[in-house]
């Protein structure tokens, strides 16, 4: 019995991670009903771990459960989005502050790679790949802060993920300039400028629908 439970726990965690990724990648869209048996088939995971994973995601406010209707990807309100954006701005500002204080060659090299790839994808007009890179870049800022509490806050409350579910992002011509300037400011040890730039980048006035 213990071995069976360990297998189920492992499968539940796998299901949790995969479903969360589907939401982040917008393959499961806000308001969409989750057909459990289809999801189990798609992920090649049995139904029980799928249900357990959905319950965890419900507690994390990524999934809603409606009695007699089932599970749905949560659709956040405009008010919630503005609140999340405010918290996200604070978290990423703090992340940049910590990165600036502890920057090393590994972080410098990774930031340069991000910059080069942003420019390449922008020049080739590969919008989908560009905006996927955008997500990776902002998650990287949080991770590179090396502040376990900051990272845990984002992961526990899904701050970035919930922001991305709104489908609101900077226009690409604005985004590319913001990303280059933010990265350059960090690399040039201009901490205050980098923080101001990230706040501007996340300002709702610059956000527009990707579609």
Tens digits of residue pLDDT in 146-197? 999 999 999 999 999 999 888 766 788 999 999 999 999 999 999 999 999 9
The topology under which CATH files domain 78-209 is 1.20.120
The count of other CB atoms within 10 Å of the CB of residue 43 is 17
- Specify burial of residue 104 (Cβ count, 10 A radius: 0-12, 13-18, 19+): exposed
The structural domains of the chain, with segments of one domain joined by +, span 2-73, 78-209
* Per-residue confidence (pLDDT) for residue 168, from 0 to 100: 60
Pick the CATH number of 2-73 from 1.20.144.10, 1.10.10.10, 3.40.1190.20, 3.30.360.10: 1.10.10.10
Same fold, 2-73 and 78-209: no
Tens digit of pLDDT for each residue in 22-38? 999 889 999 999 999 99
Tens digit of pLDDT for each residue in 88-134? 999 999 999 999 999 999 999 999 999 999 999 999 999 999 999 99
Q: What is the CA radius of gyration of the chain?
A: 19
* Per-residue confidence (pLDDT) for residue 33, from 0 to 100: 97
Q: How many residues does the chain have?
A: 211
CB 26 within 8 A of CB 75: no
> What does the mean pLDDT of the chain come to?
90
pTM, entire model? 0.87
């Amino acid at each position: 019995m213990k071995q069976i439970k360990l297998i189920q726990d492992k499968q539940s965690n796998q299901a949790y991670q995969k479903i969360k990724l589907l939401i982040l990648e917008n393959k499961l869209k806000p308001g969409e009903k989750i057909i459990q048996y289809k999801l189990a088939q798609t992920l090649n995971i049995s139904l029980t771990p799928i249900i357990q994973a959905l319950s965890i995601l419900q507690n994390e406010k990524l999934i809603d459960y409606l009695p007699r209707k089932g599970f749905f990807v949560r659709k956040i309100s405009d008010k919630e989005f503005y609140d999340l954006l405010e918290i996200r701005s604070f978290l990423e500002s703090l992340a940049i502050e910590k990165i600036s204080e502890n920057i090393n060659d590994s972080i410098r090299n990774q930031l340069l790679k991000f910059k080069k790839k942003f420019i390449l994808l922008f020049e080739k007009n590969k919008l989908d790949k560009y905006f996927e890179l955008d997500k990776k870049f902002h998650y990287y800022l949080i991770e590179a802060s090396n502040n376990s509490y900051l990272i845990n806050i984002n992961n526990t409350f899904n701050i970035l993920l919930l922001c991305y579910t709104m489908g609101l992002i900077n226009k690409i011509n604005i985004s590319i300039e913001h990303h280059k300037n933010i990265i350059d400011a960090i690399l040039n040890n201009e901490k205050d400028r980098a923080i101001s730039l990230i706040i501007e980048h996340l300002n709702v006035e610059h956000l527009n629908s990707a579609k």
